[in-house]
Structure 1
Amino acid sequence: MSLAAVKTWCLRLLPVVFFLLWYYYCYFLKSCGVISKSPVPRKSFCENLSPKKWETLDFNIARANSLFLKLEDFFWQQRPSSLPLPYGLKGSELFLLKILAVTASYKMPESISKLDCRTCVVVGNGYGVKNSSLGPVINKYDIVIRLNNAPVRGYENDVGNKSTLRFFYPESASPNPDAHNDPDTLMVLVPFKQNDLRWLKEILYNEKRVRKGFWKPPPQIWQGKSSHIRILDPYFLYQTASKVLKIPVQPKGKEKPVHPTTGILAIYVALSYCDVVHVAGFGYPQSKNQKHPIHYYGSDTMKSMKDSYHDLSHEAEALKRLEDAGLIQYLHPHS
């Protein structure tokens, strides 16, 4: 082959070589401009955290916080509470003793508790995460917190498929938790009322179910594993109401009570335990169209929130404050 022919072939191969170099640079080093700009959890995030950010919001946050109730809190120590659920334990001690005697476990997995830097993402159920393609990003966090009975299977591309904690209450419980969770996902009961604890006790002890006292019939058969059940300390709901939302925990007279949503509660818990907190799927449509969907799944619309015990606009303002203070970061554009 002549020298001229060799030069010709080399020139033809140059574009291929440049393409392969570009592909390697982008795919393996993830430094190319076309890569998603969604924040990905990095250890360096922890190095840049400023304790002063937390102090400005007057949060009582410590990395060693124990999130879940444990048996010795009641058996070995006096733990009086002046408030009933959802902000205290007054009147619910016997239910709790029975539940905690069966579940026994109250810790986070050691693989998480020993991390030098804990990265968390709280995945809300909002419509905003639909078609976001955030699934691969969400799966990279140390702790993925999900809410209520939000599905995962079939929505992996948008919300991922990793689940570390799932916050729920009886009315939002899925009959079979294994359907949309990892085998080792911790099921975290958020008790809003005494009936919530009674429901779990009846499930665990296979007692006759009492159907009254719920705004929506909860599952009569629930297949959660007792070793994976945790009971969230009501302290965190109290702090969410008083510190984050600044709403009264004891309404006056016949005033309708307003409680934090499971979502903003989960964010406060994440702030109490994790070093990095990102969120996805939060926020409700600003549209006044009552038929606008509110979740990335199902058919619920804005109309379903009409008689809610939550102040959604107030929560939106609180989330904005957390974002402005640099405490949380959204993984996608939001209103």
Structure 2
Amino acid sequence: MISKCRWKLLAMLAFVLVVMVWYSISREDRYIELFYFPILEKKEPCLQGEAERKVSKLFGNYSQEQPIFLQLKDYFWVKTPSAYELPYGTKGSEDLLLRVLAITSYSIPESIQRLKCRRCVVVGNGHRLRNSLLGEAINKYDVVIRLNNAPVAGYEGDVGSKTTMRLFYPESAHFNPKVEDNPDTLLVLVAFKAMDFHWIESILSDKKRVRKGFWKQPPLIWDVNPKQIRILNPFFMEIAADKLLRLPMQQPHKIKQKPTTGLLAITLALHLCDLVHIAGFGYPDAQNKKESIHYYEQITIKSMAWSGHNVSQEALAIKRMLEIGAVKNLTYF
């Protein structure tokens, strides 16, 4: 009897061991399938023009001649009006934009321009950065692009402290950018609507503040150097929507679908850089409704319901970029 019970116990232990091994292998396969590239001690070779060559498979007739930031000279005499309104063009906003561009800048820092091969990392806001210990590795890239109001202070071990560019829109602007950014960080405005230009003009020119027309109140006092502000070329919003998400430029719905700031930042990086890595992208599984989507705050996937962002479609777009090697992932996706 004792012998029979012992065999049953051994059989149960063997079964548990097999399940554990299978789970471990399946997880490893999942990481390999989803292109998880842990940081290596040695730098990956950087080949000039590599990102542009690979991404041409997705973007087709893709050209790096498009300026990254809008320039004042292009709005004195508009010979070729934009085909689309914001966020995919500047149609109807030219006069307002002219005033904004007169008090901001468009140049790319010389320290970036002179690099023979630009290594860039786009740091997302995802929960996978939590306890990742990627901070030191992130700081070693030539260009570090961050998103919206994602904090650095207090999270340096996981997300680093270097910020070359930060993409934002009024509602996502950090109320105290000097705390979270470096003195030379470029603050890149992503304009989704004409009111975004009104807001930045009122802030930088100290005019009467704009309070209406936003889904969330943006800062009314914003201590920044106007020469650190850049206006992102809507071209990148257009190709992210058209080529990556297959979205129509004209949408009749009240809540129009549009790319997230994260996908937009990856699109920009593929235009600017020769080597592009990403970290902190991806959302929790739909079934995991209590998991936070950000590394720094407790906010769930439910908050995305009325955002106009199709996170499932964006996940497929990022996966395609990973498959062709246009970008590589420092966290699992």
Query: Do both share a fold (TM > 0.5)?
Result: yes
Superposition pairs of residues 26-37 of structure 1, within 5 angstroms: 37=38
Q: Which residue of 1 is the match for residue 222 of structure 2?
A: 222
If the length of structure 2 is used for normalisation, what is the TM-score? 0.85
Measured in 1, the distance between the counterparts of 2:49 and 2:76 equals 41
1:304 aligns with 2:311: no
Superposition pairs of residues 18-33 of structure 1, within 5 angstroms: none
1:327 aligns with 2:304: no
Measure how far apart 1:205 and its partner are: 1.3
Q: Which residue of 2 is the match for residue 100 of structure 1?
A: 101
Higher radius of gyration, 1 or 2: 1
Change (3 A) 1:213 1:41: farther
Measure how far apart 1:301 and its partner are: 1.4
Measured in 1, the distance between the counterparts of 2:50 and 2:328 equals 13
Q: Deviations over 1:196-238 (max 9, x none)?
A: 0110011111111121110111111111210100000111100
Measured in 2, the distance between the counterparts of 1:264 and 1:39 equals 25
Measure how far apart 1:46 and its partner are: 1.2
1:292 aligns with 2:291: yes
- The one-letter amino acid paired with 2:74 is D
Contact 1:165 1:188 in 2 (8 A): yes
Aligned-partner SS, 2:58 = coil
Q: Deviations over 1:274-296 (max 9, x none)?
A: 00000000000014232211100
- RMSD across aligned positions (CA): 1.9
Measure how far apart 1:249 and its partner are: 1.4
Measured in 2, the distance between the counterparts of 1:93 and 1:182 equals 31
Superposition pairs of residues 1-335 of structure 1, within 5 angstroms: 37-39=38-40, 42=43, 44-46=45-47, 49=50, 52-103=53-104, 105-251=105-251, 253-254=252-253, 256-334=255-333
Unmatched runs of 5 consecutive residues or more in structure 1: 1-35
Contact 1:86 1:237 in 2 (8 A): yes
- The one-letter amino acid paired with 1:94 is D
Unmatched runs of 5 consecutive residues or more in structure 2: 1-36
Contact 2:51 2:276 in 1 (8 A): no
Measure how far apart 1:333 and its partner are: 2.1
The worse-fitting range, judged by mean Cα deviation, of 282-291 and 231-240 is 282-291
Aligned-partner SS, 1:57 = helix
Contact 1:38 1:332 in 2 (8 A): no
Aligned-partner SS, 2:271 = helix
Measured in 2, the distance between the counterparts of 1:112 and 1:212 equals 38
Change (3 A) 1:219 1:110: same
Q: Which residue of 2 is the match for residue 33 of structure 1?
A: none
Measured in 1, the distance between the counterparts of 2:140 and 2:46 equals 14
Contact 2:255 2:306 in 1 (8 A): no
Contact 1:39 1:331 in 2 (8 A): no
Q: Deviations over 1:10-48 (max 9, x none)?
A: xxxxxxxxxxxxxxxxxxxxxxxxxx9415784723169
Q: Deviations over 1:118-139 (max 9, x none)?
A: 0110000000111000001100
Measure how far apart 1:65 and its partner are: 4.1
Q: Which has the bigger relative contact order, CA under 8 A and spacing at least 6? A: 2
Measured in 2, the distance between the counterparts of 1:171 and 1:162 equals 23
- The one-letter amino acid paired with 2:315 is A
Change (3 A) 1:41 1:233: farther
Change (3 A) 1:255 1:218: closer
Contact 1:43 1:117 in 2 (8 A): no
Measured in 1, the distance between the counterparts of 2:243 and 2:86 equals 17
If the length of structure 1 is used for normalisation, what is the TM-score? 0.84
Aligned length: 297
Provide the identity percentage: 51
- The one-letter amino acid paired with 1:165 is M
